[in-house]
Amino acid sequence: MSSRREVSLAERKRQLVADELTEAALQLLALKGFDVVTVDEIVGAAGVSKRTFFRYFASKEDVVVQFLADMGTGMCAELAARPAGERPSAALRHAVWVPLGECADHSDRALRVVQLILDTPALLARFLERQAQWRDDLAAELARREGLDAATELYPRLAAGMALNAFDAVLHRWSSSDGTADPAALTDEAFAVIAPSLDARVRRG
């Protein structure tokens, strides 16, 4: 009777520490600001050592950004799961909605994180760095869907970039409205702007 499920005790302990760490970090960072809070302060609140913090997160920025990072992978997965016949604008809209929907659902927590990221240059930089990775993944998947060569065609990269642009714009407006704006409506509005380029099929006959 070593383990009831596949998850061992050690694994649950690991998750517990990670949660405790992110909890303490977000609490402090959102309250006092990113650059005035030190890692020692965070680990003091969480009750672990500084070394342990960096075993869970690659950097001080990561503890915030990783909150949004998983959403990015969900986004790429959603694009891959969309039906083959769907137009790029529709498929990308659904993909981008995955993380945005998460934000809308857990608006209490998510809003604070998003505002913190968008208002802190260092966090914004790391966030954009992650997005660059998402863009490459989206572009690869998009090239596969449309039967294009991502190495020679510019469309996949540009289309993925446009979708992420819409994502950013929605996030920004949602953040600056303190969560009162409707993410779904904003997303529709943004995709209405970029759809003409996403769906133009002037290339490849």
Partner DNA sequence: GCCTCTCGTGACACCGAGTGTCAATGCGAT
Partner DNA sequence: ATCGCATTGACACTCGGTGTCACGAGAGGC
Binding residues for a copy of itself, rule: CB under 8 A, are: 121, 124-126, 128-129, 132, 154-155, 157-159, 161-162, 165-166, 168-169, 172-173, 186, 189-190, 192-198, 200, 202-203
Q: Of 33 and 121, which CB lies nearer to a copy of itself in the complex structure?
A: 121
Which of the choices DNA, a copy of itself, none does residue 50 contact, using the CB cut-off of 5 to 8 A by kind?
A: DNA
Question: Which residue lies nearer to a copy of itself by CB, 14 or 173?
Answer: 173
Binds DNA by CB under 7 A, chosen from 27, 52, 73, 115: 52
When binding is defined by CB under 7 A, the residue of 7, 19, 50, 204 that contacts DNA is 50
Cα 191 from Cα 92, distance rounded (Å)? 9
Stretch binding DNA (CB under 7 A), from 9-17, 22-30, 104-112, 185-193: 9-17
For residue 41, the minimal CB distance to DNA (Å) is 8
- CA angle, residues 25, 173, 19, in degrees to nearest 5: 20
Residues 6+ apart with CB under 8 A from 149: 143
Backbone φ, ψ for residue 61 (5° rounding): -65, -35
1-32: b or e for each residue (b if 16 or more CB lie within 10 Å)?
Answer: eeeeeeeeeeeeeeeebbeebbebbbebbbee
